[in-house]
């Protein structure tokens, strides 16, 4: 058995929870060592410190890490459009504001938007969304090191508006009298909510292991798309903190799961380069080859 150290998040729509709940990896000769982190930036640090071999990460924190010396590449996709904006009752959705970003954000002037860790994809998207509408001096973004703390802050009345994953949207709807303000496709079309990031050492020395992992990751993504009810039950049974209805609702919020690295996935990722530079997150201009290694998905014909 080949040991594979995998960094993952509590984000339930990732294929990690399908792989945890099955013996697919073990049957392929891979012994997974699952390591839970609070956000993408923490996984980037773990990769940099050689504490893990691969990770489930949004592309922006990966790009920030690469700019700062991380030797890693995105070797597979996973999901797009995994960022949603939510708020408690009384606020108008973007659609109710005639899809006018300025009119929509005006109602949050003076408020604080809760967000997963600084440098996460959610953080970059909301800061860019606010900046483009000209509200960067009027709306504060408060980063939480663990995104799971955000619903508690909403229940306590500390926060009225937040940005985060489809999981957060379902929790907020169920327990915080909140609803989706901006759907995933409106905040940043085709945004790379997560991909599989591998250390350069793994890429150079463990080609077959990574191929096997990506193949099973793809199988898990297809399982979510094609057998949603069964996948929901499996994830709920694996986590033992939510029911299958919760997982199914989460899948429905943002249903675009794929291990492939499409042209749209790459194009959307490259749009982040200028935004990250403008926000002061990266020092220079990254090229596609700095971020992606497409050999694995091409070999698997994904």
Could you tell me the residue ranges of all domains in the chain? 2-81+191-299, 84-187
Bridge partner list, 115: 143
What pLDDT, on a 0 to 100 scale, did the predictor assign at position 279? Answer: 87
Helices (H), ranges, 116-159: 121-132, 149-155
Please report, to the nearest 10 degrees, the dihedral formed by the alpha carbons of residues 116, 118, 124, 130 taken in order: 80
Please compute, for residue 256, the number of CA atoms within 13 A of its CA located in the half-sphere on the CB side: 21
CATH of 2-81+191-299, one of 3.40.190.10, 3.10.450.350, 3.30.1360.120, 3.40.50.11540: 3.40.190.10
Q: Would you place residue 154 in the very low, low, confident or very high pLDDT band (cuts 50, 70, 90)?
A: very high
Whole-model pTM: value is 0.91
- Measured CA to CA, the distance from residue 236 to residue 98 in angstroms comes to 37
pLDDT at 82 over 90: yes
- pLDDT more than 90, % of the chain: 90
Are 251 and 13 spatial neighbours (Cβ–Cβ below 8 Å)? yes
Q: Do domains 2-81+191-299 and 84-187 have the same CATH topology?
A: yes
What pLDDT, on a 0 to 100 scale, did the predictor assign at position 38? Answer: 87
Q: Please check whether the domain covering 84-187 is classified as CATH 3.40.190.10.
A: yes
Tokens encoding 244: 């299958």
Bridge partner list, 164: 84
Which residues 6+ apart lie within 8 Å of 14 measured at CB?
A: 8, 56, 78, 79, 194
Bridge partner list, 197: 55, 74
CA-CA-CA-CA torsion sign (240, 113, 123, 224): positive
């Amino acid at each position: 058995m080949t040991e594979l150290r995998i960094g993952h998040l509590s984000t339930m729509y990732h294929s990690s929870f399908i792989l945890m709940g099955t013996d697919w990896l073990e049957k392929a000769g891979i012994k997974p060592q699952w390591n839970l982190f609070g956000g993408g930036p923490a996984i980037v640090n773990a990769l940099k410190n050689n504490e893990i071999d691969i990770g489930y990460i949004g592309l922006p924190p990966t790009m920030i890490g690469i700019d700062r010396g991380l030797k890693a590449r995105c070797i597979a996709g996973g999901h797009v459009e995994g960022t949603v904006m939510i708020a408690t009752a009384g606020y108008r959705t973007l659609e109710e504001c005639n899809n006018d970003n300025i009119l929509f954000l005006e109602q949050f002037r003076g408020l604080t938007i809760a967000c997963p860790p600084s440098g996460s994809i959610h953080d970059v998207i909301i800061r860019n969304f606010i900046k483009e509408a000209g509200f960067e001096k009027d709306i504060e973004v408060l980063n939480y090191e663990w995104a799971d703390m955000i619903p508690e802050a909403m229940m306590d009345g500390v926060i009225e508006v937040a940005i985060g994953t489809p999981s957060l949207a379902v929790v907020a709807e169920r327990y915080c009298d909140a609803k989706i303000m901006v759907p995933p496709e409106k905040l940043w079309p085709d945004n790379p909510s997560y991909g599989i990031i591998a250390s350069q050492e793994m890429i150079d020395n463990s080609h077959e292991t990574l191929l096997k992992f990506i193949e099973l990751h793809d199988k898990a993504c297809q399982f979510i798309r094609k057998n949603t009810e069964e996948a929901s039950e499996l994830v709920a049974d694996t986590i033992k903190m939510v029911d299958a209805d919760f997982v199914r609702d989460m899948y429905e919020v943002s249903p675009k799961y794929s291990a492939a690295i499409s042209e749209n996935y790459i194009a959307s990722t490259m749009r982040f380069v200028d935004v990250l530079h403008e926000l002061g997150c990266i020092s220079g201009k990254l090229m596609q080859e700095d971020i992606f290694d497409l050999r694995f998905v091409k070999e698997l014909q994904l």
